[in-house]
Amino acid sequence: MAGGADAFDFPQDLRDAQLALHQTRAAYEEYAKTLPWSAEPMPGWEGDKQLHSSYRSHKEDSPGYTEEQAAEVQRFQDELRRLSAEVVTHPFWEALSGPDLVDARMALKHAHEQPAEA
């Protein structure tokens, strides 16, 4: 049964969990962009000059994460684990096997792009 998300009758709670997983992952990635490059304080470094270029890779010193930043990262990671487990262990998957299961899991990732059946 190959096809898009409309080829599968995903239960709404599974659709909701997958959408929450997408949204949480996106929020975590945006938050991570604001963090220092290292969770622990680390000295910066400068790499060798690249051949035939004036480019020299480098990192500034990292102050490490604050307690608040570390707690927020942990909160995101806990929520991502919880949502991932909710999606992966949903009873819907028990009715599928082989290529149908793979197709359905791939289709679910895009189910939020189409409105749910009324």
Residue spans per domain, the chain: 1-34+69-118
Neighbours of 107 (CB within 10 A): 19
Task: Give the global pTM.
Answer: 0.82
* Mean pLDDT computed over 38-56: 89
C-alpha–C-alpha distance, residues 68 and 77, integer Å? 14
Assess contact for 31 and 80: CB atoms under 8 A.
no
Q: What is the pLDDT of residues 66-116, one digit of tens each?
A: 999 999 999 999 999 999 999 999 999 999 999 999 999 999 999 988 765
Given the structure tokens 């487990």, which residue do they identify?
Answer: 85
Q: Give yes or no for a contact between 64 and 40, defined as CB atoms under 8 angstroms apart.
A: yes
